[in-house]
Structure formats: C-alpha cells, structure tokens
Structure 1
Amino acid sequence: MATKLTKLLHIKYPIIQAPMFLVSNVSMVTEAMKGGIAGCIPALNYRTLDELRAALKQLKSNKVEGGSFGFNLIVNKSNLKYKEQLRVICEEGCDFIITSLGSPEETINQAHQVGIKVFCDVVDLKFAQKVEALGADAVIAVNNEAGGHRGNLSPEMLIKELVAHCKIPIISAGGVGTKADIDKMLSYGAEGVSVGSPFIASLEAGVTDEYKQACIDYGEKDIVVTERISGTPCTVINTPYVQKIGTKQTWLESVLNKHKKLKKWVKMIRFSIGMRATEKAATQATYKTVWVAGPSIEHTHEILPVKMIIEKLVN
C-alpha cells in the first residue's frame, strides 16, 4: 500500500488517524504509530500549553519506526490559543500539522522552518489551490461523508477534481470504515485517507463508554447535520436530545449572522457554547447527548483496541 503519503510520513499504511475533538489522545496515537499509520490530535484537546508540551514530549518518546504523529490546529480567530499552540508545537517538534478553518499561511511558514510538514483541510478546489500556492505539503479533502465539519462534494467528485488540478498529494477524509472504502478512495486518485469515526469506539479513546456504545448502536442513517455546535455545519448522532433541541441555528443567531460586524462574535460565542456541550456529552454521563460522529460508524460493531481497528482497515 505504498503511496506518496506513506513516503511523505514514512508510515506503513496510507492512513491518518484523524484528529477528533475530545476523543484523540496520546494513547490512541501511540497505538496508531505501532500499527504502522499516522495519528493526529487536536491541539484544543489540551487546556494549557504545558499539557500540550507534555503530550508532544510523550509522543516523541513513544514514536516507533513505521509510525508518525501530528497535531491539528484551528487557525481562525475562534481559536484564541492558536498562535501560542503553534509556537509550542514548533518548539517541541512533530511530523506534521493539519490546519482547519482558516488561512494556513502563518502555520506553513513557521512549521517549514523547523521541518514540520503541513496538510490543510479543504472542501473545494478553490481553497486547495490557495493552500498549494502557500506551500502546503498535501491537502485533506473533506467530503460530504466526513464526520464533524464536512464538505459538500462526494468523495469521488472532490478527489478527482483536486487530483486533476493540484500537484500536491490528496488525502481523502470521510466515508472510510473498511478496506474496500480505502481501495475506493485510492482508485479515485487519493494518496491516502484520514479516518476518524471508526476509532471513537476504541479502548484507548478518552470518552465515555456511552459515547462508544452509541457508535455501535447507531448507524449511517442516524447521522444528521447540525448548526448548533460550532456555527458551522457539523455531523452528530441523532439522539433524542438532538431531536429535542433541533439542528438549525436560532432565529436570533440567523439575524445576527447577517450583520457584517457582529457575525464573527456570534460565531465565537456559538463555538464556545457548542464545545462545552460536546465536552460534557463526551466525558460525563448526561442526558444532553451531543455526540459528534460520521456515517462510517455503520461499520462499528464492538469496542476494540486501536490495533485491531487498524488491522480490520488494512486486511
């Protein structure tokens, strides 16, 4: 399964264990590296810079041949910690950074100075060409089957369009739960895949057993898109609580989001409220169950170690 991604990150299989808010942790990424793939953690999973630095040091000491690790940065103004997180990551070092929701220019410039590769989330050709021009090492093509913040295009349409017009590697994100799915994405021209939801129900994931069990009990048909988490459409499991609160923004948010000067602050407030809600649902037993996941939970049937999930994906 050698591809440009395996060569770029020196990994055995062309798979990135996707960064998942609250879910991803050092244990998961360590097992990912042992399994011959790359693992990634959102920097926002750490409340303080000291905790982020400690995680970087631990992963460096845990690194094995054939594995790779990185961190995800939200690079827009909603993440007030962004610049300091980037500084710490560049000081300690990792193999790659994945940028989301903003311009990656500053990240690319600083990361490349210390030998860190930068992959950028994109949902269309226009943004892919922008980040390629800025010097990105690869793009993460987020399609309409992704979990969390997803794109609008199908995997086939998005991958083929990017492959036809971009020179850097295309890594597909969304719609992968089996080996057949990986083969399909590679057949479209992708150099690898980013896989998240199948790893939620892992022994190492840092979330409640209720969240993990939900990924077993619910399936593809139970995934809905909500505007109530971050202000940007996000996929969640359609639990009774989600049905109760609805998936559309409030009428007040709708009005304020049309105001040129206020919409930035409205989004920041919604992002803060939504993140607190998902954190409670992921880490505590609560009836307010807002569980982020993608359609690929359709293939999750039991809670397994990360090692076995990787084996199922590659065999």
Structure 2
Amino acid sequence: METALCRLTGVRHPVVQTGMGWVAGPRLVAATAEAGGLGILGAATMRLEELAAAIREVRERTEAPFGVNLRADAPDAGQRVDLLIREGVRVASFALSPGERLIGRLKDAGIVVIPSVGAVRHAEKVRAQGADAVLVQGAEGGGHTGAVATTVLLPQVVDAVDIPVIAAGGFFDGRGLAAALCFGAAGIGMGTRFLLTSDSAVPEEVKRRYLAADARDAVVTARIDGLPHRMLRSALTERAESTGLPRRLPGAVRRAAAYRAMSGASWRELVADGLAMRRARRLPWDAVLLAANTPMLIRAALVGGDAEAGVLPAGQAVGAIERLPSCAELITGIVEDAARVLGSAPGAANPRS
C-alpha cells in the first residue's frame, strides 16, 4: 500500500508512530521502523547528548528510515538540527511551526520536514514555509489537542494544501487507515495505539490502566499546564479541576526545579526556555509556570509507573484498544485490513494519496 508518504520518507507502509515524550524511545522507534512504519523519536524530553545516543541506538537496531520530533521553540533547536543533519536522520517533525530558516536548513540537507498542526491556517502556514508534509491531529487525539474532530478537520486540510497530509487523532486499526486514505490523506499517525504495544517501554501496570479505560475516560483539561490536554481521568486530574491556580503554582515550581535538575539545565536556560515558550505559544506567565508541570508529571506515570500522581496522555481511541501486539503485528494487521476494506468498498474508492 504505497502512498505519497511512503515515497517521501522511504517507509514501506503509510503508518506513523508519533514522537511521544518519555514513550517514543529507541526500542519503540526501531520496532516501528523494522515493521515498515515511520517511527519518530520523542526528543523533547531528551538532553542533546541523550538524543545523540538515542539516534545511535536506533541505528544499531535497524537500517530502516526513522524520524526525530523536535521542539521548534527550544533554545537549542539549532544544535538539534545540526545533530540531525550530521547523523543523516530521514525525517524531522515538529509540534510547532519551525519557521523558514530551520526548514530550509533541514531540506538543504535532504531531511524531510513534517510539522504537526491542529488547524487549517497552521497547515497553510507551514506549507508556505516549505514543509514537505503535514500531520494534522483532530480533537480525538491524546496530549495537547484542539477542538475540531478529525473527520471535519482532515478534509479541510487536504483541500487547503498540496503536500501529503498525515491524519492523526482517533486512529487504531485498518478501517481508520482506509477511511483516512478515502479522505485524501497519505497515511495515519498514532500515539496511544503504539504506546499500547509490547514494544513500548511503558510499565506494564500502566498499560493495564490504559487497557481498562473507556473512551470517556480520555478527558480534556487545561488545569495541568494551561493548555487543552487530553489524558486519562485520574486522582491528579480530579484534584486539578477542583483546585485554584494559587494552590497549583507552588507544585508547578517544584516540578520545574526537579526537571531542571534532571535535564542538567541551568536556571538561566530554564527561564530562556520559558520565554521562548511564551513567545511561540502566546501564553500568559501563569500558563508558562504550569507548563513546567508537564514533563515531570508525564514521566511520573509513563516512566515511574505512578498512574494516579502522574499524567497519562491518551486519545479517545484508548477505549477501542484491548490488546498489546508487537509493532510488526500491529502494522501488518492495519495494512492488510485497510487493503481488504478498500478492496470490498462499493465503487472502490480512489483516494488521493
């Protein structure tokens, strides 16, 4: 099932494992790549030297192409781009617009640039800046998300830009891939579905918590870090919803200090990071302080295994997932099912892919 995404990135199947912080490490990325999908390292939570080591480890595990997700507003974004260029990484993805300068540097080095967007105007913006493709996430998706459903947003973006579009938000099986192709997408991106594989390093007890969840348990709250964030309902989300900002800020500052110590950053670097985030996302200062919560709270759950005290990012697809296949089983099954659905559809669809 070759699409424009496959031809652009060199992968065999139009299935993308998104760059989830603390989750998308070398093991998961390499397993995805070996299975023919596009695995993307979640580099936003890695120090520069950790990212370099992670890229080397993926290379030791597979010769297939893979990508790295970067924060465009990170103070060391330029150094990270330099690293990707030196290492010859195939794809660079971004959660925010990377701007013409970074896109130009990456493309001059032969690296495919795929920003993620949540609105039509953002897709048009990154296309004008030179992006090679775009990943569009609808409201069903986990983590930071928008308010428009994938089934409404996706066709609008497909109509608005002339580059390959990857659909994300609510996908978990072959029927979803078939539907996305019929909408005109060139593939699908999945986070929660890849988190719930046997190749994911997330603790088993946390995976069981996800498997037991209903779609309605994947709630959206802005009380954790100041931005709409879809995650599993927990004791933490209940406390956040019932606690005012003044009582939440001291905890946010403590966790920011913990993240600074863990990352090796200086307070000056942390402040510079906050300033960059404030400019890029147009956040008020209280939201910037709360945003310092996110890395440590997600780490507490997805690395430390504390499902009640940490954040469990989750898309609504969590309610449809019941087992933990390997990445190879997952991708093979999705592609085969999608081919079967498309082949049996009345008047067989001819997706623009």
1:202 shift after superposition = 2.0
CA–CA separation in structure 2 for the residues paired with 1:40 and 1:249: 36
- Structure 1 segments, 4+ long, off by >4 Å, are 251-254, 260-264
Unaligned 5+ residue runs, structure 1? 255-259
Render the CA deviation track for 1:195-214: whole Å, top value 9, x for unaligned: 11011122222222222111
1:114 shift after superposition = 1.1
Match of 2:211 in 1: 216
TM-score of the superposition, structure 1-length normalised? 0.89
Match of 2:198 in 1: 203
Aligned length: 305
1:72 aligns with 2:93: no
Indicate if the aligned counterparts of 2:96 and 2:115 stay in contact, CA closer than 8 A. no
1:81 shift after superposition = 3.6
> What percentage of residue pairs aligned between the two structures are identical?
25
CA–CA separation in structure 1 for the residues paired with 2:51 and 2:291: 21
Q: Which amino acid aligns with 2:294?
A: G
TM-score of the superposition, structure 2-length normalised? 0.80
1:281 aligns with 2:301: yes
Match of 1:257 in 2: none
Match of 1:128 in 2: 123
Q: Which amino acid aligns with 1:52?
A: L
Match of 1:51 in 2: 50
1:253 shift after superposition = 8.9
CA–CA separation in structure 1 for the residues paired with 2:59 and 2:244: 42
SS of 2:292's partner is helix
1:264 shift after superposition = 4.8
C-alpha distance 285-141 of structure 1, shift in aligned 2 (>3 A): closer
CA–CA separation in structure 2 for the residues paired with 1:20 and 1:263: 22
Of the three residues 179, 189, 201, the one matched with 1:184 is 179
1:142 shift after superposition = 1.3
CA–CA separation in structure 1 for the residues paired with 2:220 and 2:302: 18
C-alpha distance 2-213 of structure 1, shift in aligned 2 (>3 A): same
Indicate if the aligned counterparts of 1:17 and 1:194 stay in contact, CA closer than 8 A. yes
Render the CA deviation track for 1:106-162: whole Å, top value 9, x for unaligned: 321221121101011111121111111110001111111111112222222212112
CA–CA separation in structure 2 for the residues paired with 1:116 and 1:244: 43
C-alpha distance 183-225 of structure 1, shift in aligned 2 (>3 A): same
CA–CA separation in structure 1 for the residues paired with 2:242 and 2:294: 12
SS of 2:328's partner is helix
C-alpha distance 90-102 of structure 1, shift in aligned 2 (>3 A): same
Match of 2:291 in 1: 271
1:5 aligns with 2:5: yes
> After superposition, where does 1:163-178 map in structure 2 within 5 Å?
163-178=158-173
SS of 1:130's partner is helix
Match of 1:140 in 2: 135
Higher helix share: 2
CA–CA separation in structure 2 for the residues paired with 1:304 and 1:136: 33
Indicate if the aligned counterparts of 1:104 and 1:120 stay in contact, CA closer than 8 A. no
Larger RCO of the pair (alpha carbons < 8 Å, separation 6+): 2
CA–CA separation in structure 2 for the residues paired with 1:299 and 1:54: 35
CA–CA separation in structure 2 for the residues paired with 1:31 and 1:283: 19
Q: Which amino acid aligns with 2:185?
A: A
Unaligned 5+ residue runs, structure 2? 250-277, 337-353
> After superposition, where does 1:24-103 map in structure 2 within 5 Å?
24-46=24-46, 48-64=47-63, 67-76=64-73, 79-103=74-98
Indicate if the aligned counterparts of 2:218 and 2:318 stay in contact, CA closer than 8 A. no
CA–CA separation in structure 1 for the residues paired with 2:154 and 2:170: 12
Indicate if the aligned counterparts of 1:139 and 1:169 stay in contact, CA closer than 8 A. yes
CA–CA separation in structure 2 for the residues paired with 1:159 and 1:252: 39
Indicate if the aligned counterparts of 1:119 and 1:138 stay in contact, CA closer than 8 A. yes
Q: Which shows bigger deviation, 103-112 or 29-38? A: 103-112
1:299 aligns with 2:320: yes
1:51 shift after superposition = 1.6
Indicate if the aligned counterparts of 1:60 and 1:94 stay in contact, CA closer than 8 A. no
